[in-house]
Amino acid sequence: MSRFAFYERIYRAFHDRPSLSKLLLVSTVSGGGIVAFSDTTPFRVAYADSAQGQCPKKKVVVLGTGWAATSFLKNLKNSSYEVEVVSPRNYFAFTPLLPSVTNGTVEARSIVEPIRNIVNKKGPHCEYREAECYKIDAEKKKIYCQTTQASNLGGKEEFAIDYDYLIIAVGARANTFNTPGVEENTHFLKEVEDAQKIRQTVIDCFERASLPSLSEEERKRILHFVVVGGGPTGVEFAAELHDFAIEDLAQLYPEVKNLVKITLLEAGDHILNMFDKRITAFAEQKFQREDINIKTGSMVVKVAEKEISTKERGTGHVVSIPYGMAVWSTGIGTRPFIMEFMKQIGQTNRRAIATDEWLRVDGCDTIYALGDCATINQRRVMEDIAAIFSKADKSGTGKLTIQDAKEVVADICERYPQVELYLKKKNMKNFVDLLKHSDSEMQTLKLDIELFKLALSEVDSQMKNLPATAQVAAQQGEYLADCFNRMDMCEKNPEGPLRFRASGRHRFHPFRYKHFGQFAPLGGEQTAAELPGDWVSIGRSTQWLWYSVYASKLVSWRTRVLVISDWGRRFIFGRDSSRI
Amino acid sequence: MSRFAFYERIYRAFHDRPSLSKLLLVSTVSGGGIVAFSDTTPFRVAYADSAQGQCPKKKVVVLGTGWAATSFLKNLKNSSYEVEVVSPRNYFAFTPLLPSVTNGTVEARSIVEPIRNIVNKKGPHCEYREAECYKIDAEKKKIYCQTTQASNLGGKEEFAIDYDYLIIAVGARANTFNTPGVEENTHFLKEVEDAQKIRQTVIDCFERASLPSLSEEERKRILHFVVVGGGPTGVEFAAELHDFAIEDLAQLYPEVKNLVKITLLEAGDHILNMFDKRITAFAEQKFQREDINIKTGSMVVKVAEKEISTKERGTGHVVSIPYGMAVWSTGIGTRPFIMEFMKQIGQTNRRAIATDEWLRVDGCDTIYALGDCATINQRRVMEDIAAIFSKADKSGTGKLTIQDAKEVVADICERYPQVELYLKKKNMKNFVDLLKHSDSEMQTLKLDIELFKLALSEVDSQMKNLPATAQVAAQQGEYLADCFNRMDMCEKNPEGPLRFRASGRHRFHPFRYKHFGQFAPLGGEQTAAELPGDWVSIGRSTQWLWYSVYASKLVSWRTRVLVISDWGRRFIFGRDSSRI
């Protein structure tokens, strides 16, 4: 769409003279631009034609426009579905850059891409609705939505949408752990609007502290910024705020610059505890040098208008911390309508919707859930051990030869990823190593179920939940789109592992997450990164790696150019301190 | 400040190695950058030194951060004042580009400049307070302020500031003419926030109209955009909205693009009635071709949630117009606290604060008012005619020779600008022409007061109020700063015209507005301009003139680069349709 717009603008700049525009058309052909130039209209006609005379299309309803949903949409190539996207947010936001938005290193608009740019490229069988789903009826295969636009356009409008497949990718909300006062007095950092509000409030704090009538103590309170949660988001925000304060605001508010204090509260022992210890140590030392106050073992029990109360783990005392602005970044919780839906399908007392390894909601054949609102409910090998054994035991003798075992081992490894992780951890080459027998014994060994159990008894210790990151969500979206693209084909020729508790094979390979590493920007042009293979990289060069990875991962050329030019603007002009 | 930041960033990029940084310092000297690099600290010290041992500085309080106030601040070079700027808006906004912000042609942040960037350059004798003045006490020379920051920073804080000189430059608010429903249901276009809200609402309208459950009639209503007021702002907004809709939104919302309707309501006979007739005619024809509906002679009497009621001048009927979004742009009104202040000083029933030609508030020696909140109360020649005559009549004979008259004519022309305008209009060379006598008679002519009155009897017909534009406000700010810069000097050696009703001369030349022309952007890369000397220019080339004039007038290099790169972004990628 954006390329089209570009060509069209150039085209119009030729004053609509046909001779010149022909020339232009020819030149775009050579550049490969003709497809983009031909607009959506012929594209749509082509789609409509191909659908004529076929059976009615299956309707896929996608809830959400975040990482998982957008990645699904972008990768869905099969036009035999009718797709409807429902979300109150008509854009995709590149959330890893949200902390940069809070301080104006990057503009909010630079990290968003209108979802209609993506949807419209899919043709007329794909629609977007700016609305909020408030109820899912799994039995009637219906969702209920309400509008979210400003009220004077005609009040709340409600409507229902039928679906054949429902894809829930609505993300999560901030988790307050029901701590009193958090909703009212702290800022979250989940949405673009949150980041914009934080930016305004930071400026507000500096302006407020510069007023003539305040006491020194009150000034100090107002310029005390508290970040609750020592995860990557909280740490990055604290680092960005520190840079903003010393690089830009100290120049503009010289009279109060020495009163600024940033405190990071973490209930655990260390910040960034999901990272390698070297990164944690580096970050803690860097923050100490920069006077960013890290308080670990400190659990927030209440947030009042001007004070945060924490319970210290060592002493058990409750301490009161006066503050000006607090950012709450302690992990994710469940959205209310998802909680309602989970109750409906009998999944209570969980943080997120449980799915199988194919991202299908447990107990609902036609509903998929991915991203932060879902977790994959991995099956334990030990739960299925009897079924696995009897499947392997083709002859029905109750004993497996090594050959029998070897034949199912690939399927076991695919179906239960913990097996592979266990082998890797123990430096074993393959399943046979688990049997702890010498090679000569192997040839004649017959496994009974007890021996089989014993061999696999410890693999389940390697079961891991996936982190709630953009990387996981994006991979899940891509995986699911691939499944939908090849649904018919795989229905006929299943490619997945053996079904141990039923006959035949699974249609698809199960979802498998590939970890490409994780960044923790630490401010001052320094970044830490954990890369695959336990590599750790810290420093300025990693910051450049961060710049280039994020620039390449951005969702469109538009956002890429915008973010890079924002970085350039910041470098030249500094960050803007206007309260807008 | 921004240059400093730039150097400092490069400096830091040298990894803080002293040898390299020396090299850098040398290179900046040759580039003339050393002054900028030396930061505000030495600058401040210099100021502080020069003030030592002198009498206490006079305190100048400036209300506002708009065109007039910012222009005053930027041009105030005299460090013998202590300046305090009070405004709820901590930035200056380049308001002529506001209509471009409503549709994303330019970003909000690109047209603002933090006021502290300007204030801090002035040194430590200049301060800014983010607060709102709610009361002026002219007798005690005090203003009362309250804070405007978000509530959880500690509630409303109130404080008072004393002044020696008060400069009121708070601008105006939108004028609703007390039409019911306007405040609640329409958008104004005065502030940056207004523009951002309009942008969101336009997107909201398109998203809402795309929902499946609406009737065709309801969709049409929602996509009916009504602009009330055919002045330059209203016309430019309508044109920008039209471009946004056909260039960008039509691609993204193909199913509703044909339902979009834009209506411009104007109570008078023509839109752009302050412009040359040729411009009005061109604009009306262009809008007609583009299906922008112009309804003249239509006065809005009520705005309900979904309907605007207008009274048609021809028939007197009241007509009801269903609409989705309405923008109210019918001129300016007085801010409540200014109304209060005017009552206090006996200026009731006026639209704005009356000042003399030196921008001093009538009846308040130490208060100045400029920009949209003030009007210059020109004196009529006829009011002062007796005083003028007796001043000219040095000999006291009750008769003036031509020589006597010639001696005061320059002062009359300077004090009463209408005289010059009248002469120009009548193609007269000088005052003597007004006497309508032959040259031979002139030599012996003696004027009595009646003849003198007769000669000047018609000049007051040329008295004109200045328009409420950025251009006027900026020139007033510059003029007043110049007066303040040379206050002491001109106190001793007054440079202004004769005081006709008192002895001596006025300290300063009165303010005289120079009109550099006015633009009316009409969309589709076409602009009309009225240039000095009754020149009219319309078309694409004028659009480029518009681009270059606005780019050069922008307040800092930062805003200049930002706005120009926004134009580039729009050209390449189109406008963004994300609802943020």
What DSSP designation does A498 have? B
If phi > 0 it is left, if psi is from -120 to 50 it is alpha, else beta; for residue B467 that is beta
Residue of B nearest to A152 (CA): B305
Q: Which pLDDT does position B376 carry in this prediction?
A: 93
User: Per-residue pLDDT for B153 more than 80?
Assistant: no
- C-alpha–C-alpha distance, residues A375 and B332, integer Å: 57
* Per-residue pLDDT tens over the stretch A381-398: 888 888 888 888 888 888
* Per-residue pLDDT tens over the stretch B245-299: 888 898 889 889 899 999 999 999 999 988 889 999 999 999 999 999 999 999 9
Model confidence at A308, pLDDT cuts 50, 70, 90, reads very high
Q: Which pLDDT does position A16 carry in this prediction?
A: 40
A84 CA to chain B: closest CA distance, Å? 11
* Per-residue pLDDT tens over the stretch B383-415: 888 888 888 888 888 888 878 888 888 888 888
| HEC letters along B265-288 | EECCCCCCCCCCHHHHHHHHHHHH
Which residues in B lie closer than 8 A to residue A196 (C-beta atoms)? Answer: 580
User: Per-residue pLDDT for A2 more than 70?
Assistant: no
B247 touching chain A per CB within 8 A: yes
Q: Which pLDDT does position A442 carry in this prediction?
A: 65
CATH 1.10.238 domain span(s) along chain B: 381-462
Residue of A nearest to B11 (CA): A571
| Phi (first) and psi of residue B127, to 5 degrees | -130, 155
Q: Which pLDDT does position B440 carry in this prediction?
A: 65
Comparing CA positions, the residue from A146, A145, A129 lying closest to residue A137 is A145
User: Per-residue pLDDT for B22 more than 60?
Assistant: no
ipTM reported for the complex, 2 dp: 0.83
More confident residue, B6 or B473: B473
Does the beta-carbon distance from A130 to B251 stay under 8 Å?
Answer: no
Q: Which pLDDT does position B59 carry in this prediction?
A: 96
Which residues in A lie closer than 8 A to residue B129 (C-beta atoms)? Answer: 210-212
User: Per-residue pLDDT for A303 more than 90?
Assistant: yes
Residue of B nearest to A249 (CA): B116
Does the beta-carbon distance from B117 to A252 stay under 8 Å?
Answer: yes
A31, two tokens: 């550049």
Q: Which pLDDT does position B575 carry in this prediction?
A: 83
Q: Who contacts B109 (Cβ-Cβ below 8 Å, separation ≥6)? A: A107, A576, A578, A580, B562
Does the beta-carbon distance from B128 to A210 stay under 8 Å?
Answer: yes
* Sequence letter at residue B495: E
Cross-chain CB nearest to B306 (options A154, A214, A576): A154
For residue B361, the SS3 value is strand
Q: Which of A161-170, A352-361, B264-273, B461-470 has the lowest mean pLDDT?
A: B461-470
Does the beta-carbon distance from A576 to B112 stay under 8 Å?
Answer: yes
Q: Which of A154-158, A488-492, B237-241 has the lowest mean pLDDT?
A: A154-158
Comparing CA positions, the residue from B69, B113, B128, B109 lying closest to residue A208 is B128
CATH 3.30.420 given to domain B381-462: no
Best of A105, A213, A556 to mutate (most B CBs within 10 Å, chain B): A213
Query: What class is the A56-172+334-378+469-514 domain?
Result: alpha beta
If phi > 0 it is left, if psi is from -120 to 50 it is alpha, else beta; for residue B486 that is alpha
Q: Which pLDDT does position A440 carry in this prediction?
A: 65
In total, the C-beta contacts within 8 angstroms joining chain A to chain B are 207
A150 touching chain B per CB within 8 A: yes
B248 CA to chain A: closest CA distance, Å? 8
B500 touching chain A per CB within 8 A: no
CATH number of B54-172+334-378+470-514: 3.50.50.100
* Per-residue pLDDT tens over the stretch A401-443: 878 888 888 888 888 888 888 888 888 877 777 776 656 666 6
Which residues in B lie closer than 8 A to residue A250 (C-beta atoms)? Answer: none
Tell me which of 3.30.1540.10, 3.50.50.100, 3.20.20.450, 3.40.710.10 is the CATH number of domain B182-333+516-573: 3.50.50.100
Which residues in A lie closer than 8 A to residue B131 (C-beta atoms)? Answer: 211
B188 CA to chain A: closest CA distance, Å? 15
Give me the residues of B, 286-325, that contact A with CB < 8 A. 305-306, 324
Q: Who contacts B63 (Cβ-Cβ below 8 Å, separation ≥6)? A: B69, B86, B87, B133, B143, B166, B167, B168, B169, B170
Cross-chain CB nearest to B112 (options A4, A149, A580): A580
Mean pLDDT for A1-18 is 44
Cross-chain CB nearest to A130 (options B40, B207, B251): B207
What single string gives the DSSP state of each residue in B99-120?
Answer: HHHTTTSS-GGGGEEEHHHHHH
Model confidence at A82, pLDDT cuts 50, 70, 90, reads very high
Does the beta-carbon distance from B91 to A580 stay under 8 Å?
Answer: yes
* Per-residue pLDDT tens over the stretch A472-524: 999 999 999 999 999 999 999 999 998 888 888 999 999 999 988 888 889 88
A89 touching chain B per CB within 8 A: yes
Give me the residues of A, 96-115, that contact B with CB < 8 A. 107-109, 112-114
Mean pLDDT for B5-28 is 40
CATH 3.50.50.100 domain span(s) along chain A: 56-172+334-378+469-514, 182-333+516-573
Does the beta-carbon distance from A247 to B5 stay under 8 Å?
Answer: yes
Comparing CA positions, the residue from A164, A172, A160 lying closest to residue A135 is A160
Does the beta-carbon distance from A248 to B5 stay under 8 Å?
Answer: yes
Which residues in B lie closer than 8 A to residue A573 (C-beta atoms)? Answer: 2, 5-6, 557-558, 561
- C-alpha–C-alpha distance, residues A358 and A165, integer Å: 14
The model carries a pTM of 0.85
CATH 3.50.50.100 domain span(s) along chain B: 54-172+334-378+470-514, 182-333+516-573
Does the beta-carbon distance from A212 to B90 stay under 8 Å?
Answer: no
More confident residue, A315 or B12: A315
